[in-house]
């Protein structure tokens, strides 16, 4: 037989008059015990405590009914001003927090509302995002869609790829990396998810020109003439120099790039712009890595280092196998590949760091070139492949042929 206990008895809701509330509060202060008065009057202690607070805050304006304190005209005006101020702050803060969600799909908007419901009113957020409250609450009940779950998984993968790229990859490269991980997703969708997660690739800045063409050395003809398409390794090498700032002074970087696979085959870093400390050591590094057996075009700007006898004599020592080429004065497009390399280096890496000493800059640039650019970075000119992937593909094609 069912045994009735106190916990099964639902307390009947009671309505208390203003006089009852006032006298209960007065009696509690006179007796000095809230618990005892509540037991005698058969009311919850939380209710009497609330009455006491309201009596202290509003005095004779307490207990008007329906839970709203009675206010004077001045109090009403102050309350209205406070409400308008809160509304203004909410209307300002919701777009600020949810700016990246305003242009996204409904699922992402619902997700933002769910995560911020304790900070902003749900109704106000729904209005700002132009979605219905009923739609939001229905979404809470039925749970996230399959598409939303996919976006969550893709978002995690995108954040990992973006971080691994030193925050340099945009949507095209991230799309390629996602495909390698088994995620088939369009570039516009990747871009939308990146915007939602505030993942923005770094943009270019102006560079300092390093070319010193005010010299009396002979100038080589422009053999390359902006033809950057080649069919084999060691067919065309391009070279250039740039400044990298440190608190100790400028560090000068010289690179030699093979146009076939965009690999940096030679580089040097120095604290001056002499030929012996810039292009000569970079050239020596390149020829140690690559054996020159067929005709090679070496293209650069008209800088004094490239035109000096100390370097041109090295070129001549190859008995015509190496032909020197120089771009037109004042036109960076004649050496666009090397300029593009320096843009990537500085935007993706150098501008993120502050170097106290040249030795720090040297180690940092070495890391970027040898562990990232030459090995793991995706190159758009190589069909969004790494240099190693491109070299493997070319090698397999030769074997198949």
- CB-based burial label for 15 (10 Å; 0-12, 13-18, 19+): exposed
Residue 265 pLDDT: 96
How does pLDDT run across 272-305, given as a tens digit for each residue? 999 999 999 999 999 998 989 999 999 999 889 9
Residue 139 pLDDT: 83
| Residue extents of the structural domains in the chain | 16-61, 73-142, 146-196, 236-400
Looking at the structure, give the CATH architecture of the domain made up of residues 236-400: 2-Layer Sandwich (3.30)
* CA-CA-CA-CA dihedral for 152, 156, 158, 159, to nearest 10: 130
Closest CA to 22 of 75, 58, 68: 58
The structure's pTM equals: 0.64
Q: In this structure, what token pair is assigned to residue 245?
A: 């700032």
Query: Which stretches of the chain score pLDDT less than 50?
Result: 1-2, 4, 6-9, 101-103, 207, 209
Residue 80 pLDDT: 74
Residue 113 pLDDT: 83
Residue 9 pLDDT: 45
- Long-range pairs for 169-178: beta carbons < 8 A, 24 or more residues apart: 169/201, 169/378, 170/194, 170/201, 172/380, 172/384, 173/378, 173/380, 173/384, 176/378, 176/384, 177/378, 178/154
Residue 292 pLDDT: 92
Residue 65 pLDDT: 65
Q: In this structure, what token pair is assigned to residue 44?
A: 């919850």
* φ, ψ (nearest 5 deg) of residue 225: 50, 45
């Amino acid at each position: 037989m069912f045994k009735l206990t106190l916990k099964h008895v639902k307390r009947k809701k009671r309505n208390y008059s203003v006089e009852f509330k006032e006298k209960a509060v007065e009696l509690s202060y006179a007796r000095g015990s809230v618990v005892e008065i509540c037991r005698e009057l058969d009311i919850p202690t939380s209710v009497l405590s609330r009455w006491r607070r309201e009596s202290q805050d509003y005095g004779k304006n307490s207990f008007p009914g329906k839970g709203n304190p009675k206010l004077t005209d001045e109090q009403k005006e102050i309350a209205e001003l406070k409400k308008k101020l809160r509304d203004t702050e909410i209307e300002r803060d919701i777009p600020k927090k949810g700016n990246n969600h305003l242009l996204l799909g409904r699922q992402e908007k619902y997700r933002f509302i769910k995560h911020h419901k304790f900070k902003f009113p749900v109704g106000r957020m729904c209005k700002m995002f132009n979605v219905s409250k009923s739609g939001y609450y229905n979404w809470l009940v039925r749970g996230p869609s399959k598409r939303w779950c996919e976006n969550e998984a893709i978002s995690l993968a995108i954040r990992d790829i973006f971080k691994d790229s030193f925050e340099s990859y945009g949507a095209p490269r991230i799309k390629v990396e996602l495909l390698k991980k088994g995620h088939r997703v369009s570039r516009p969708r990747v871009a939308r998810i990146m915007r939602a997660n505030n993942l923005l690739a770094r943009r270019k800045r102006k560079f300092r020109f390093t070319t010193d063409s005010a010299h009396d050395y002979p100038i080589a003809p422009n053999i390359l003439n902006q033809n950057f398409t080649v069919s084999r390794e060691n067919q065309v090498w391009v070279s250039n120099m740039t400044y990298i700032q440190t608190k100790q002074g400028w560090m000068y970087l010289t690179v030699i790039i093979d146009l076939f696979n965009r690999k940096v085959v030679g580089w040097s870093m120095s604290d001056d712009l002499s030929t012996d400390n810039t292009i000569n050591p970079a050239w020596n590094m390149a020829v140690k890595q690559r054996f020159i057996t067929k005709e090679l075009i070496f293209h650069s700007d008209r800088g004094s280092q490239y035109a000096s006898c100390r370097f041109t004599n090295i070129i001549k020592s190859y008995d015509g196998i190496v032909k020197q080429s120089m771009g037109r004065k004042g036109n960076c497009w004649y050496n666009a590949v090397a300029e593009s390399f320096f843009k990537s280096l500085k935007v993706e890496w150098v501008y993120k760091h502050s170097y106290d000493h040249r030795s720090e800059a040297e180690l940092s640039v070495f890391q970027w070139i040898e562990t990232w650019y030459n090995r793991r970075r995706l190159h758009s000119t190589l069909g969004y492949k790494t240099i190693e992937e491109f070299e493997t593909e070319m090698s397999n094609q030769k074997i198949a042929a």
